[in-house]
């Protein structure tokens, strides 16, 4: 299995920390999981769309639409499929220092099945974006790194987002300086993408 440069570095680094990555979950597995949840879960995407259409066709505030969204009992996988937020593949890391991490990759090619094409897409550089999401076990999403790796454009760190409240609460709870952690992660904001520099920032951030 070919890996992206950043994926290979993260895999080795987190394995050394005793928090190895899970296997890849591919696009088609998200779709299959959403179908199973539709059939056997508490809610279905079709029923959600019907409720949403009823609200959009009436004279109600947009907040009511959001209320239906958050009150729905769709699973995480159903929500991602419904939002069109399904990656080429996703990998998760085990918990370290109260945090866990998700690594997502998107492709420049739109396919119905990616697993059997994964090596080719990586070899040909057909990776459009990579995302790293840091989560706290207790406080939720802490920070996001978005990387534009489309070879038709400059390879640049496109965005660093720090969720200030959960970020500060997490590092206060584990006795670490949130300002220093923020400095580490923001240090690569807007910089040309380099897998090794990004990897080092991730490891410094997570330790």
Domain boundaries, the chain: 5-21+93-206, 28-83
Is the pLDDT reported for residue 65 higher than 70? no
Q: Is 84 exposed, middle or buried (0-12, 13-18, 19+ CB in 10 A)?
A: exposed
Q: Work out the end-to-end distance of the chain between its first and last CA atoms, rounded to an integer number of angstroms.
A: 28
Q: In sequence order, what are the residues at sequence separation of 6 or more whose Cβ sits closer than 8 angstroms to the Cβ of residue 168?
A: 178
User: pLDDT tens digit string along 113-163?
Assistant: 999 999 999 999 999 999 999 999 888 889 899 987 665 566 677 688 889
Crossing angle between the packed helical segments 5-16 and 195-206, to the nearest 10 degrees: 30
Predicted structure pTM score: 0.84
User: pLDDT tens digit string along 86-125?
Assistant: 999 999 988 888 888 999 999 999 999 999 999 999 999 9
Mean pLDDT of the chain: 87
């Amino acid at each position: 299995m070919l890996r992206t440069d950043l994926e290979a570095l993260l895999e080795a680094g987190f394995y050394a920390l005793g928090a190895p990555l899970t296997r890849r979950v591919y696009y088609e597995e998200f779709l299959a999981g959403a179908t199973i949840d539709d059939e056997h879960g508490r809610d279905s995407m079709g029923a959600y769309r019907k409720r949403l259409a009823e609200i959009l066709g009436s004279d109600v505030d947009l907040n009511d639409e959001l209320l239906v969204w958050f009150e729905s009992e769709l699973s995480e996988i159903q929500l991602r499929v419904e939002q069109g937020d399904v990656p080429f593949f996703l990998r998760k890391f085990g918990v370290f220092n109260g945090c866990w991490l998700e690594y997502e990759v998107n492709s420049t090619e739109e396919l119905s099945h990616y697993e059997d094409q994964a090596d080719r897409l990586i070899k040909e550089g057909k990776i459009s974006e990579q995302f790293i999401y840091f989560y706290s076990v207790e406080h939720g999403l802490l920070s996001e790194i978005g990387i534009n790796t489309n070879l038709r454009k400059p390879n640049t760190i496109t965005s660093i987002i720090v969720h200030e409240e959960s970020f500060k609460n997490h590092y206060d709870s584990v006795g670490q300086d949130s300002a220093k952690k923020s400095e580490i992660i923001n240090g690569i904001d807007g910089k040309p993408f380099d897998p090794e520099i990004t990897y080092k920032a991730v490891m410094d951030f997570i330790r």
